[in-house]
Amino acid sequence: MGQRKLKVVVTRKLPEAVETRMRELFDATLNIDDQPMNAEAIIAAMRQADVLVPTVSDRIDARMLAQAGPDFRLIANFGAGVDNIDVRTAIERGITVTNTPGVLTEDTADMTMALILAVPRRVIDGVKVVEADQFVGWSPTWMLGRRIWGKRLGIIGMGRIGQAVARRAKAFGLQIHYHNRKPVSPVIEQGLEATYWDSLDQMLARMDIISVNCPHTPATYHLLSARRLALLKPHAYIVNTSRGEVIDEAALARMLDKGQIAGAGLDVFEHEPAINPKLKRLANVVLLPHMGSATMEGRIDMGEKVIVNIKTFADGHKPPDRVIPAML
């Protein structure tokens, strides 16, 4: 008789190819209707499953983990970030946590670059004019934005995504600056012609565009506080494709409304899926529905990583993308 298949519960609908493979390898319960599972539904899943495959929108805290069943041993997160999971409590309870790093780097960097272009060049404003049938012909002083070439870009978080953003931005003629916990290697720094700033405050005060590419951790919550946002030049733009909690969203909305910051491109929000109503009313803001990593290729790559992590765990080995507290 063959080995029992692990019972796996998937909290959201995944690409068909990923779901099919999961059904082949595991005793997988899929979310065909793609309806978000509430806390009680997730607790019920952890009581009867060996493995849970949540997404970044599923919050799993200590209270929920305390109610997991005796066979529950793995949280295979469908996402690179794990700020939605109380990782330390999970590990203390003997539950392994994995994620899907690396596969979304290029997709997220593409979207970051798109926002860096869209906000200063007023791309969305132009789309709205055409859609409203208000385009009456070219004029020398109409729809003026700001040039990208030659501007200073300050990247907060120079990991995989930050470096991918820097490579794209350098090709567009932007001068690369960055703040990180520590400098990147001299080879990377020289290749990007990047300037490292140990002081985030000093970098913010000198940049034309800021790109947020650091993860959300307790240390980065409101890293861009009202005080730090006030350091930005009035002509500066800010782009965030990381996590909404890194920015004090209320303070950002106030400053954008008052013209203290020129504009913003946001793909993530502090209280997702809720968006600050003030941001929605502002003409100098481009808002996207957390779609920075939303490519079919990226989602399939994520699913394949989840499957490898579960399969490796089932075979009695340490999953390749195991998350440990020191990494957070």
Active site residues: 243, 272, 290
**Peptide bond before residue 273 is cis, with ω within 30 degrees of 0:** yes
Query: Measured between alpha carbons, how far is 29 from 11 in angstroms, rounded to an integer?
Result: 9
Place of tokens 């499953």: 49
The DSSP line for 19-81 is: HHHHHHHSEEEP-TT-PPP-HHHHHHHHHH-SEEE-BTT--B-HHHHTT--TT--EEE-BSS-
**H runs (alpha helix) in the chain:** 16-25, 39-48, 62-65, 87-92, 105-118, 123-131, 160-171, 186-192, 200-204, 226-229, 249-257, 277-281, 296-314
What are 263's strand-pairing partners? 237
Residue 11 in tokens: 């909290």
Residue 283, helix vs strand vs coil: coil
Q: Would you say 5 and 287 are in contact if contact means Cβ atoms under 8 Å apart?
A: no
β-pairing verdict for 195-196 and 175-179:
parallel
DSSP state of 290: S
Q: Which helix (H) or strand (E) holds 212?
A: strand 209-212
What does the chain come to in residues? Answer: 328
